[in-house]
Amino acid sequence: MHEHLVFLGISLVILGYGLFSKQLSKYNISGPMVFSVVGVLLSPLVLGTHPIHLNAEAVQVLAEITLIIVLFSDAASLNIKELKAQWKLPVRLLFVALPVTIVLATLTGIWFFPNESLLYILLLALILAPTDAALGKVVVSDERIPSTVRNTINVESGLNDGIVFPVLLTVLAMIGAGSDTAQSGWMSYIAQQIGIGALAGAAVGYTGARVMVRALHKGWMAHQYSNLAPIALAIFSFYFAEHFGGNGYIAAFFSGLFLGNTSKILREHVEDFAESEGELFIMVSFLIFGLVFIPATIGYWNLKALGYALLSLTLLRMLPVALGFGFDKIDLSTRLFYGWFGPRGIASILYILVAVHQIGGVEGHEEIFAVASLTVVLSIFLHGLSAQLLAILYAKSHPADEY
Protein backbone atom coordinates (compact mmCIF):
# COMPACT_ATOMS: atom_id res chain seq x y z
CA MET A 1 0.00 0.00 0.00
CA HIS A 2 2.84 2.37 0.86
CA GLU A 3 4.35 1.93 -2.62
CA HIS A 4 1.04 2.96 -4.18
CA LEU A 5 0.96 6.09 -2.00
CA VAL A 6 4.47 6.95 -3.15
CA PHE A 7 3.55 6.64 -6.84
CA LEU A 8 0.35 8.60 -6.24
CA GLY A 9 2.35 11.28 -4.46
CA ILE A 10 4.88 11.48 -7.29
CA SER A 11 2.17 11.89 -9.92
CA LEU A 12 0.29 14.51 -7.90
CA VAL A 13 3.35 16.59 -7.11
CA ILE A 14 4.47 16.56 -10.75
CA LEU A 15 0.98 17.65 -11.80
CA GLY A 16 0.62 20.23 -9.04
CA TYR A 17 4.07 21.74 -9.39
CA GLY A 18 3.77 21.73 -13.18
CA LEU A 19 0.51 23.68 -13.05
CA PHE A 20 1.81 26.34 -10.67
CA SER A 21 5.59 26.25 -11.25
CA LYS A 22 5.73 29.73 -12.78
CA GLN A 23 3.73 31.23 -9.91
CA LEU A 24 5.79 29.42 -7.28
CA SER A 25 9.03 30.69 -8.82
CA LYS A 26 7.87 34.25 -8.08
CA TYR A 27 8.06 33.32 -4.39
CA ASN A 28 11.47 31.62 -4.81
CA ILE A 29 9.92 28.17 -4.31
CA SER A 30 11.88 25.79 -6.50
CA GLY A 31 11.22 22.28 -7.79
CA PRO A 32 13.93 20.70 -5.58
CA MET A 33 12.29 22.29 -2.51
CA VAL A 34 8.86 20.96 -3.38
CA PHE A 35 9.96 17.46 -4.37
CA SER A 36 12.24 17.03 -1.35
CA VAL A 37 9.48 18.12 1.05
CA VAL A 38 6.94 15.81 -0.62
CA GLY A 39 9.44 12.98 -0.30
CA VAL A 40 9.68 13.58 3.44
CA LEU A 41 5.87 13.74 3.72
CA LEU A 42 5.60 10.35 2.01
CA SER A 43 8.41 8.86 4.11
CA PRO A 44 8.23 6.79 7.32
CA LEU A 45 8.95 10.00 9.25
CA VAL A 46 5.36 11.13 8.56
CA LEU A 47 3.43 8.02 7.50
CA GLY A 48 5.07 5.70 10.00
CA THR A 49 5.57 2.94 7.42
CA HIS A 50 8.52 0.63 6.94
CA PRO A 51 11.58 2.49 5.66
CA ILE A 52 12.82 2.01 2.09
CA HIS A 53 16.42 0.80 2.16
CA LEU A 54 19.08 2.98 0.57
CA ASN A 55 20.33 -0.05 -1.33
CA ALA A 56 16.88 -0.94 -2.68
CA GLU A 57 17.11 -1.95 -6.33
CA ALA A 58 14.56 0.61 -7.53
CA VAL A 59 16.45 3.44 -5.80
CA GLN A 60 19.78 2.36 -7.28
CA VAL A 61 18.39 1.92 -10.80
CA LEU A 62 16.86 5.42 -10.68
CA ALA A 63 20.14 6.86 -9.40
CA GLU A 64 22.10 5.06 -12.10
CA ILE A 65 19.93 6.27 -14.98
CA THR A 66 19.74 9.82 -13.63
CA LEU A 67 23.50 10.07 -13.17
CA ILE A 68 24.06 8.77 -16.71
CA ILE A 69 21.69 11.42 -18.07
CA VAL A 70 23.18 14.22 -15.94
CA LEU A 71 26.78 13.42 -16.90
CA PHE A 72 25.90 12.93 -20.58
CA SER A 73 23.77 16.08 -20.93
CA ASP A 74 26.22 18.26 -18.95
CA ALA A 75 29.06 17.13 -21.21
CA ALA A 76 27.01 17.49 -24.39
CA SER A 77 26.13 21.10 -23.52
CA LEU A 78 29.80 22.09 -23.31
CA ASN A 79 30.77 23.87 -26.49
CA ILE A 80 34.55 23.41 -26.70
CA LYS A 81 34.96 26.35 -29.12
CA GLU A 82 33.14 28.74 -26.78
CA LEU A 83 35.01 27.32 -23.80
CA LYS A 84 38.32 28.11 -25.51
CA ALA A 85 37.23 31.72 -25.90
CA GLN A 86 36.30 32.08 -22.22
CA TRP A 87 38.48 29.47 -20.54
CA LYS A 88 40.31 31.48 -17.90
CA LEU A 89 37.67 31.85 -15.17
CA PRO A 90 36.17 28.32 -15.43
CA VAL A 91 39.68 26.82 -15.38
CA ARG A 92 40.50 28.69 -12.18
CA LEU A 93 37.33 27.44 -10.54
CA LEU A 94 37.81 23.86 -11.71
CA PHE A 95 41.55 23.37 -11.33
CA VAL A 96 42.44 25.76 -8.51
CA ALA A 97 39.38 26.42 -6.36
CA LEU A 98 37.93 22.90 -6.63
CA PRO A 99 41.05 21.00 -5.41
CA VAL A 100 41.62 23.57 -2.65
CA THR A 101 37.98 23.15 -1.57
CA ILE A 102 38.39 19.36 -1.35
CA VAL A 103 41.63 19.70 0.66
CA LEU A 104 40.16 22.26 3.06
CA ALA A 105 36.97 20.22 3.47
CA THR A 106 39.04 17.12 4.26
CA LEU A 107 41.22 18.92 6.82
CA THR A 108 38.14 20.45 8.44
CA GLY A 109 36.50 17.02 8.50
CA ILE A 110 39.51 15.54 10.32
CA TRP A 111 39.07 18.17 13.02
CA PHE A 112 35.27 17.75 13.21
CA PHE A 113 35.26 13.94 13.10
CA PRO A 114 38.50 12.70 14.71
CA ASN A 115 37.16 9.16 15.12
CA GLU A 116 36.32 8.73 11.43
CA SER A 117 38.51 7.07 8.83
CA LEU A 118 40.47 9.47 6.60
CA LEU A 119 38.98 7.82 3.51
CA TYR A 120 35.43 8.46 4.69
CA ILE A 121 36.22 12.07 5.48
CA LEU A 122 37.72 12.44 1.99
CA LEU A 123 34.62 10.72 0.60
CA LEU A 124 32.45 13.35 2.33
CA ALA A 125 34.55 16.16 0.84
CA LEU A 126 34.20 14.65 -2.65
CA ILE A 127 30.44 14.11 -2.32
CA LEU A 128 30.01 17.79 -1.44
CA ALA A 129 32.50 19.11 -4.03
CA PRO A 130 30.36 19.29 -7.22
CA THR A 131 27.95 22.20 -7.62
CA ASP A 132 24.45 22.32 -9.07
CA ALA A 133 23.55 25.52 -10.90
CA ALA A 134 19.91 24.38 -11.10
CA LEU A 135 19.39 25.22 -7.40
CA GLY A 136 20.04 28.86 -8.26
CA LYS A 137 18.65 28.69 -11.77
CA VAL A 138 17.63 32.35 -11.82
CA VAL A 139 21.30 33.32 -11.53
CA VAL A 140 22.34 31.57 -14.76
CA SER A 141 19.21 32.64 -16.63
CA ASP A 142 18.93 36.31 -15.56
CA GLU A 143 20.27 38.35 -18.48
CA ARG A 144 20.77 41.37 -16.23
CA ILE A 145 23.83 39.57 -14.82
CA PRO A 146 26.98 39.75 -17.00
CA SER A 147 27.13 36.81 -19.39
CA THR A 148 30.70 35.99 -18.32
CA VAL A 149 29.53 35.42 -14.75
CA ARG A 150 26.54 33.30 -15.82
CA ASN A 151 28.56 31.22 -18.26
CA THR A 152 31.35 30.63 -15.76
CA ILE A 153 28.92 29.36 -13.11
CA ASN A 154 27.21 27.18 -15.71
CA VAL A 155 30.46 25.69 -17.06
CA GLU A 156 31.76 25.01 -13.55
CA SER A 157 28.56 23.22 -12.62
CA GLY A 158 28.58 21.24 -15.85
CA LEU A 159 32.19 20.07 -15.59
CA ASN A 160 33.02 19.64 -11.91
CA ASP A 161 30.91 16.50 -11.44
CA GLY A 162 32.80 14.81 -14.28
CA ILE A 163 36.15 15.87 -12.78
CA VAL A 164 35.33 14.77 -9.23
CA PHE A 165 33.73 11.45 -10.16
CA PRO A 166 36.93 9.53 -11.07
CA VAL A 167 38.46 10.62 -7.75
CA LEU A 168 35.31 9.49 -5.96
CA LEU A 169 35.60 6.09 -7.67
CA THR A 170 39.22 5.85 -6.56
CA VAL A 171 38.32 6.51 -2.93
CA LEU A 172 35.45 4.01 -3.07
CA ALA A 173 37.84 1.42 -4.53
CA MET A 174 40.28 2.07 -1.68
CA ILE A 175 37.50 1.73 0.87
CA GLY A 176 36.43 -1.51 -0.77
CA ALA A 177 40.03 -2.76 -0.68
CA GLY A 178 40.19 -1.89 3.02
CA SER A 179 43.43 0.03 2.66
CA ASP A 180 44.69 3.59 2.77
CA THR A 181 47.74 2.63 0.72
CA ALA A 182 48.42 1.59 -2.83
CA GLN A 183 47.84 -2.10 -2.32
CA SER A 184 45.48 -4.75 -3.63
CA GLY A 185 45.88 -3.58 -7.22
CA TRP A 186 43.26 -0.87 -6.93
CA MET A 187 45.42 1.70 -8.78
CA SER A 188 45.57 -0.38 -11.95
CA TYR A 189 41.87 -1.10 -11.57
CA ILE A 190 41.03 2.61 -11.45
CA ALA A 191 43.33 3.36 -14.39
CA GLN A 192 41.53 0.67 -16.37
CA GLN A 193 38.12 1.99 -15.33
CA ILE A 194 38.89 5.56 -16.36
CA GLY A 195 40.95 4.76 -19.47
CA ILE A 196 38.60 2.21 -21.02
CA GLY A 197 35.57 4.24 -19.93
CA ALA A 198 36.85 7.38 -21.62
CA LEU A 199 37.86 5.59 -24.84
CA ALA A 200 34.62 3.62 -25.05
CA GLY A 201 32.53 6.72 -24.40
CA ALA A 202 34.42 8.79 -26.95
CA ALA A 203 34.07 6.07 -29.59
CA VAL A 204 30.35 5.58 -28.97
CA GLY A 205 29.64 9.32 -28.81
CA TYR A 206 31.53 10.20 -31.99
CA THR A 207 30.32 7.22 -34.01
CA GLY A 208 26.75 7.57 -32.76
CA ALA A 209 26.74 11.28 -33.59
CA ARG A 210 27.91 10.62 -37.15
CA VAL A 211 25.27 7.95 -37.68
CA MET A 212 22.49 10.13 -36.21
CA VAL A 213 23.50 13.18 -38.25
CA ARG A 214 23.37 11.07 -41.41
CA ALA A 215 19.97 9.67 -40.39
CA LEU A 216 18.65 13.20 -39.82
CA HIS A 217 19.97 14.50 -43.15
CA LYS A 218 18.54 11.53 -45.02
CA GLY A 219 15.18 11.92 -43.29
CA TRP A 220 15.33 8.41 -41.81
CA MET A 221 14.66 9.51 -38.24
CA ALA A 222 11.19 10.60 -37.09
CA HIS A 223 11.21 13.91 -35.21
CA GLN A 224 9.95 12.43 -31.92
CA TYR A 225 13.05 10.21 -31.71
CA SER A 226 15.57 13.00 -32.25
CA ASN A 227 15.57 13.76 -28.50
CA LEU A 228 15.39 10.13 -27.38
CA ALA A 229 18.10 8.63 -29.61
CA PRO A 230 21.03 10.55 -28.01
CA ILE A 231 19.87 9.52 -24.51
CA ALA A 232 19.62 5.91 -25.65
CA LEU A 233 23.19 6.33 -26.90
CA ALA A 234 24.23 7.56 -23.42
CA ILE A 235 22.81 4.44 -21.79
CA PHE A 236 24.41 2.24 -24.47
CA SER A 237 27.80 3.87 -23.87
CA PHE A 238 27.45 3.04 -20.16
CA TYR A 239 26.90 -0.67 -20.76
CA PHE A 240 29.41 -0.80 -23.64
CA ALA A 241 32.17 0.49 -21.36
CA GLU A 242 31.13 -1.77 -18.48
CA HIS A 243 31.29 -4.80 -20.78
CA PHE A 244 34.94 -4.10 -21.62
CA GLY A 245 35.96 -3.35 -18.03
CA GLY A 246 35.62 0.42 -18.11
CA ASN A 247 33.52 2.71 -15.97
CA GLY A 248 30.11 3.39 -17.48
CA TYR A 249 29.68 6.81 -15.88
CA ILE A 250 32.99 8.06 -17.29
CA ALA A 251 31.88 6.66 -20.67
CA ALA A 252 28.56 8.53 -20.46
CA PHE A 253 30.40 11.81 -19.84
CA PHE A 254 32.84 11.37 -22.75
CA SER A 255 30.06 10.12 -25.00
CA GLY A 256 28.11 13.33 -24.38
CA LEU A 257 31.23 15.48 -24.84
CA PHE A 258 32.01 13.98 -28.26
CA LEU A 259 28.39 13.91 -29.42
CA GLY A 260 27.71 17.51 -28.43
CA ASN A 261 30.85 18.79 -30.12
CA THR A 262 30.36 16.71 -33.26
CA SER A 263 26.90 18.09 -34.02
CA LYS A 264 25.26 21.32 -32.89
CA ILE A 265 21.84 19.91 -33.84
CA LEU A 266 22.29 16.87 -31.61
CA ARG A 267 23.55 19.07 -28.78
CA GLU A 268 20.33 21.08 -29.00
CA HIS A 269 18.26 17.88 -28.93
CA VAL A 270 20.08 16.73 -25.78
CA GLU A 271 19.42 20.11 -24.17
CA ASP A 272 15.73 19.82 -25.09
CA PHE A 273 15.58 16.38 -23.45
CA ALA A 274 17.43 17.60 -20.35
CA GLU A 275 14.97 20.46 -19.92
CA SER A 276 11.91 18.20 -20.11
CA GLU A 277 12.22 14.43 -19.64
CA GLY A 278 15.61 14.79 -17.96
CA GLU A 279 14.14 17.28 -15.51
CA LEU A 280 11.62 14.62 -14.49
CA PHE A 281 14.39 12.19 -13.51
CA ILE A 282 16.16 14.89 -11.54
CA MET A 283 13.05 16.01 -9.66
CA VAL A 284 12.14 12.41 -8.81
CA SER A 285 15.69 12.00 -7.48
CA PHE A 286 15.06 14.92 -5.11
CA LEU A 287 11.84 13.20 -4.05
CA ILE A 288 13.75 9.94 -3.43
CA PHE A 289 16.25 11.98 -1.42
CA GLY A 290 13.45 13.18 0.87
CA LEU A 291 11.73 9.80 0.89
CA VAL A 292 14.72 7.56 1.57
CA PHE A 293 17.89 9.36 2.54
CA ILE A 294 16.65 12.01 4.95
CA PRO A 295 14.78 9.46 7.11
CA ALA A 296 17.88 7.24 7.16
CA THR A 297 20.20 10.00 8.41
CA ILE A 298 18.08 12.59 10.24
CA GLY A 299 18.69 10.88 13.57
CA TYR A 300 22.36 11.84 13.27
CA TRP A 301 21.80 15.51 12.51
CA ASN A 302 23.33 17.49 15.37
CA LEU A 303 25.17 20.75 16.02
CA LYS A 304 28.45 19.28 14.79
CA ALA A 305 26.81 18.21 11.51
CA LEU A 306 25.15 21.63 11.20
CA GLY A 307 28.47 23.40 11.79
CA TYR A 308 30.27 21.42 9.11
CA ALA A 309 27.37 21.80 6.65
CA LEU A 310 27.33 25.58 7.06
CA LEU A 311 31.12 25.78 6.66
CA SER A 312 30.88 23.62 3.53
CA LEU A 313 28.38 26.02 1.97
CA THR A 314 30.25 29.19 2.99
CA LEU A 315 33.90 29.43 4.05
CA LEU A 316 35.10 26.10 2.61
CA ARG A 317 33.67 27.07 -0.77
CA MET A 318 34.00 30.86 -0.82
CA LEU A 319 37.59 31.15 0.38
CA PRO A 320 39.05 28.82 -2.31
CA VAL A 321 37.00 30.60 -4.99
CA ALA A 322 38.15 34.05 -3.82
CA LEU A 323 41.78 32.89 -3.73
CA GLY A 324 41.46 30.93 -6.98
CA PHE A 325 40.97 34.08 -9.02
CA GLY A 326 44.37 35.30 -7.79
CA PHE A 327 45.32 38.83 -8.75
CA ASP A 328 42.80 39.13 -11.58
CA LYS A 329 40.82 42.36 -11.68
CA ILE A 330 37.74 40.80 -10.10
CA ASP A 331 36.22 42.74 -7.21
CA LEU A 332 35.42 41.14 -3.87
CA SER A 333 31.64 41.14 -4.37
CA THR A 334 32.03 39.17 -7.62
CA ARG A 335 34.34 36.67 -5.93
CA LEU A 336 31.81 36.24 -3.12
CA PHE A 337 28.98 35.93 -5.64
CA TYR A 338 30.80 33.11 -7.42
CA GLY A 339 31.60 31.55 -4.06
CA TRP A 340 28.06 31.57 -2.72
CA PHE A 341 26.51 30.15 -5.87
CA GLY A 342 28.09 26.75 -5.53
CA PRO A 343 24.93 24.88 -4.45
CA ARG A 344 25.06 21.17 -3.56
CA GLY A 345 22.27 19.29 -5.27
CA ILE A 346 21.66 16.48 -7.72
CA ALA A 347 25.32 15.44 -8.21
CA SER A 348 25.84 15.16 -4.44
CA ILE A 349 22.62 13.15 -4.05
CA LEU A 350 23.60 10.74 -6.82
CA TYR A 351 27.16 10.44 -5.49
CA ILE A 352 25.70 9.50 -2.11
CA LEU A 353 23.61 6.75 -3.66
CA VAL A 354 26.55 5.47 -5.73
CA ALA A 355 28.74 5.44 -2.60
CA VAL A 356 26.12 3.59 -0.56
CA HIS A 357 25.73 1.04 -3.34
CA GLN A 358 29.50 0.51 -3.69
CA ILE A 359 30.15 0.32 0.06
CA GLY A 360 27.04 -1.69 0.88
CA GLY A 361 25.39 0.68 3.37
CA VAL A 362 25.99 3.52 5.82
CA GLU A 363 26.37 1.38 8.93
CA GLY A 364 29.20 2.58 11.15
CA HIS A 365 29.54 5.85 9.23
CA GLU A 366 26.08 7.33 9.66
CA GLU A 367 27.50 10.62 10.90
CA ILE A 368 29.41 11.22 7.65
CA PHE A 369 26.38 10.54 5.45
CA ALA A 370 24.18 12.59 7.78
CA VAL A 371 26.43 15.62 7.22
CA ALA A 372 26.15 15.10 3.47
CA SER A 373 22.36 14.94 3.54
CA LEU A 374 22.04 17.95 5.87
CA THR A 375 24.34 20.02 3.62
CA VAL A 376 22.20 19.21 0.58
CA VAL A 377 18.99 20.05 2.47
CA LEU A 378 20.38 23.42 3.60
CA SER A 379 21.63 24.17 0.08
CA ILE A 380 18.27 23.35 -1.51
CA PHE A 381 16.56 25.97 0.64
CA LEU A 382 19.27 28.59 1.26
CA HIS A 383 20.37 28.84 -2.37
CA GLY A 384 16.85 28.50 -3.70
CA LEU A 385 15.50 31.29 -1.49
CA SER A 386 18.47 33.65 -1.93
CA ALA A 387 19.06 33.28 -5.68
CA GLN A 388 16.60 35.87 -6.95
CA LEU A 389 17.34 38.49 -4.29
CA LEU A 390 21.12 38.24 -4.65
CA ALA A 391 20.89 38.19 -8.45
CA ILE A 392 18.94 41.47 -8.37
CA LEU A 393 21.37 43.09 -5.91
CA TYR A 394 24.41 41.95 -7.86
CA ALA A 395 22.98 43.11 -11.21
CA LYS A 396 22.44 46.61 -9.82
CA SER A 397 26.15 47.08 -9.14
CA HIS A 398 27.38 44.90 -12.01
CA PRO A 399 25.27 45.62 -15.14
CA ALA A 400 25.33 43.13 -18.00
CA ASP A 401 27.37 45.38 -20.32
CA GLU A 402 30.18 45.67 -17.77
CA TYR A 403 32.03 42.59 -19.11
The domain spanning residue 237 has which CATH number? 1.20.1530.20
- Alpha-carbon span 113 to 115, nearest angstrom: 6
- Closest listed residue to residue 66, CA positions, set 372, 348, 368: 348
The pLDDT value recorded for residue 98 is: 93
* pLDDT score of 321: 93
List Cβ neighbours of 133 (8 Å cut-off, separation of 6 or more): 139, 140, 153, 154, 156, 157, 158, 341, 343
- CA-closest candidate to residue 253, choices 132, 78, 1, 15: 78
Instruction: Look at residue 54 in the predicted model and tell me its pLDDT.
Output: 61
Q: How many domains does the chain have?
A: 1
pLDDT higher than 80, residue 171: yes
C-alpha to C-alpha distances, 102 to 67, 319, 320, 321, nearest whole angstrom: 21, 12, 10, 12
Q: Residues near 377 by Cβ (< 8 Å), separated by ≥ 6?
A: 36, 294
The pLDDT score that the predictor gives to residue 55 is: 61
pLDDT (average), residues 186-208? 84
Averaged pLDDT for residues 158-163: 78
Please, are residues 216 and 265 in contact by the beta-carbon 8 Å criterion?
yes
Compute the average pLDDT of residues 215-242: 84
Domain, as residue range, for 284: 2-49+58-402
pLDDT of residue 65: 86
pLDDT at 172 over 80: yes
Q: Model confidence at 182, in pLDDT bands (50, 70, 90)?
A: very low
